[in-house]
Amino acid sequence: YKLIMGEYGEAVVEELREQGILPAMQATVGNHTRNLGTAPCNLWSTRVSGVVQIPYAFASGHYTNSEQVNIAEWISEMARESGFINFVPQTSQSNYVLVQTESGCWSWVGMQSGAHGVSLGYGCLTLGIAQHEFLHALSFFHEQSCPD
Whether 93 and 57 have beta carbons less than 8 Å apart is answered as no
**Three-state DSSP class for residue 34:** coil
Angle between helices 127-137 and 65-82 (to 10 degrees): 60
Pair type for strands 47-48 and 51-58: antiparallel
Does residue 133 have an active-site annotation?
yes
Helix (H) or strand (E) holding 87: strand 85-89
At 145, the amino acid letter reads S
Q: How far apart are CA 37 and CA 83, in angstroms?
A: 20
Active-site residue, from 18, 67, 81, 133: 133
Catalytic annotation, residues: 133
